Chain A
Amino acid sequence: MKTQTKTILVASKVLAFVGFIWYSIQWGSQLLNFVASFISPEWAKHTYQIDLNIFRIREYSIAFYAYAMCLIIGVFTLKASIWYVVWELLSKLKLQTPFSMEVEKKLERIAYLMLGVWIVSNIFWKIYTYYLTKETGIQLPAKESGDEYLFLAGIIYIISQIFKRGIEIQEENDLTV
């Protein structure tokens, strides 16, 4: 049983690192396309979310294009950060003493980052798309606004608070003579 837990943790650590690398590549690619599209608008065609009509927005208005790209890059930054913190958490987790303040702080940070993803996604899908359609008539395909991130952020935050209380009880026990 013990060995199985260890194996699962090692596998999760590898997965978290792969996730971090994947989102970092996407982040770098979006940033590169964004910067390059100022020199040549054709670069806007190479963005990952091609279905978002980013190229049309770029042709219509640089300001709207810049807002969209900033929000998209922001989401990728937050997602890459989540994977990095998960990897950090799994790297620092010791099975002998798993309950530490460091782990609790990382859990809390993951919850805040997830909340950040939800906020930025909502700004994009609710506020930005509304003004984009109003001002330019360009309609973006309807997509999920990342509500699952809000749910996950809440769950992880609750777990981190329970974890924190557990650590406090453990500390009290350790300091009882």
Chain B
Amino acid sequence: MPIIVNLDVMMARRKMSLNELSEKVGLTLSNLSILKTGKAKAIRFSTLEAICKTLDCQPADILEYVEPLKK
């Protein structure tokens, strides 16, 4: 998928663990893991809002569009 999730980068910048983020955002570890590994098909605005608020960042810091490689 051309949308890349840079959640791990932001977490590393804020020195926050997945457990800590899970507690603060109110998401389950498995759901956060789905998001972090790029397996998620969609993200709710409420989830994005909670993550941005907790990590003190903008949606663009977490989501990035990368042009897909042409075969």
Interface residues of A (CB under 8 A from B): 171-172, 175-177
Contacts and interface: CB of A to CB of B under 8 A. Distances in A.
Contacts, number: 23
Q: Chain B contact residues (Cβ within 8 angstroms of A): what range?
A: 10 to 19
Nearest to B36: A177
B32 interface: yes
Given A176-B43, A177-B43, 6 more contacts: A171-B41, A175-B40, A175-B42, A176-B40, A177-B32, A177-B35
Nearest to A175: B41
Contacts of A171: 41
A68 B24 CA distance: 73
Contacts of B42: 172, 175-177
B39 interface: yes
Interface in B5-51: 27, 31-32, 34-35, 39-44, 47
